[in-house]
A = this chain, B = another copy of it.
Amino acid sequence: MAPKRVTLADVAKLAGLSTTAASMILNGRPDTRLSQDAHERVLAAAAELNYRPNVAARGLRTQKTRTIGFISDRVATTRFASGLIEGALAAAGAADHVMLVLETGGEAKLEASALEAVLDRQVDGIVFASMRARELYIPELPAGTRSVLLNATSQGHAVSVLSDEYTGGRTAVEVFARHGFTDGVAVLGYSEEAEHGLFRSVAVSRRVDGVKDALAEHGIDVAVWESVWLWDADTGYVAAKKILRRHPGIRALLCMNDRLAFGAYQAIQEKGLRIPDDISIVSFDNDELASYLRPGLTTVALPHEQMGRHAVSLLLSDDAAPGERLVPMPLIERSSVID
C-alpha cells in the first residue's frame, strides 16, 4: 500500500545529478561549489518525493545517530522522579534527537546489558539517571562516548547534574525567618544516619547542612529535631503525633519531604489544630501531593524537569568540563505558612 522508502539515489535521479551532489546539498555543506540551480533542483526533488534519509545508513558512515541513551534505575517507572525524563525528552526533542529509554531497576546485570544495548545502537551520548541522588558506578565507556550523570554522582571526573540541595535547605528555613519565627520550630525527617554518611544520598546531607546553617544564621531556635529513617507518609504521621504530644508549643514544622508533610497534616488535623493558623509547615520536593493538600503545601521544589533538560543539553553541547552542575530549587509558595 504505502510506497517503499525513497532513497537519496531517487532524489538524485529526479534532480538529474549524482548522489554526491544531492548529499552535499541536502546536508548544506558550506564549502560546496555546486550551482544555485543544482541546489534548487535537489531541494525540489527531495520535497516532491518527501525524501527522508535513512538514519541507519547515515549512522553507519558518520557514527552519529541523533539518538541518545537514557539509562536509569527507576525513573520512568516511579511517578516521583518522572520529571527527569520529561525534561530530558523535551530537550532531546528540541535538539532533534530521540531518546532510547532503558530501566535497570538498579540491578547490575541489567545495567551492563542496557549499556551494551545502547552502545550497539551507536548512541551519541548517554544519560545515567537515578531516581534519588546517589553515587553510581559507571563502567568505562568506549572512547568518544559522552555521558552525563543525572541526579547522581560518580567517582572520578564525570559531569553530573544535581539539585542545589544546600541552597534549597536554606531557602526553606528562610521562609520561616521571613515570617518572623524565632522559636517553636520543629524539624521532621532529619536523619542521624544520613548525617553520619552511613548510606542514603549526598542530597540528603547537603539539604540538612543548608537547613542547619540557615537556622544558625537566622538565630532560629529549634525545639526538636525528630529523626526518622523512612521518609514516607506513615512515618510522618507517627512522628508528627509524637512531636505534638511532647512539644505542644510548636508553631512551625519543617518536613524534609512532602510525604512526611502529608503524614504530618493528618496528625495535625486529627488533633483539631489548623494549618497554618496554629502550625505553619514548609517542606521539600513539590511532590504532586503538595498541591492536593488542603491548605496547599509550601515546599522547596525538586526541579526534576529542569535537571533532565539541563543534562541533555549538556550532553549535546561541547561543554564537557567535569564537575557538578547545580540546578536551583525553587520555592513553591502555597498556603501552609501563616502570614
Contact = CB atoms under 8 A, between A and B. Distances in A.
A245 interface: no
Interface string A53-80: 1111101100001010000000011111
Interface string A18-62: 000000000000000000000000000000000011111101100
Interface in A71-103: 76-80, 82-83, 85-86, 89-90, 93, 98-103
B143 A117 contact: no
Most buried by B among A76, A117, A119, A263: A76
Contacts of A99: 100-102
Given A59-B56, A76-B82, A233 B292 contact: yes
Contact of A103 (B59, B86, B121, B292): B86
Contact of A54 (B90, B120, B269): B120
Given A54-B60, A98-B102, A121-B55, A294 B237 contact: yes
A141 interface: yes
Nearest to A141: B2
Contact of A56 (B1, B89, B122): B122
A142 B2 contact: yes
Contacts of A237: 294
Contact of A89 (B67, B102, B120, B142): B102
B89 A55 contact: no
Contact of A57 (B55, B60, B89): B60
Contacts of A78: 82
Contacts of A67: 100, 121
Nearest to A80: B79
Contacts of A102: 89, 93, 98-99
A317 to B, nearest CB: 21
A103 B122 contact: no
A32 to B, nearest CB: 24
Interface string A98-120: 11111100000010001011111
Nearest to A86: B77
Contacts of A140: 1-2
Nearest to A105: B90
A182 interface: no
A259 interface: yes
Interface of A: 1-5, 52-57, 59-60, 65, 67, 76-80, 82-83, 85-86, 89-90, 93, 98-103, 110, 114, 116-122, 140-143, 232-233, 237, 259, 262-263, 266, 269-270, 288-289, 292, 294
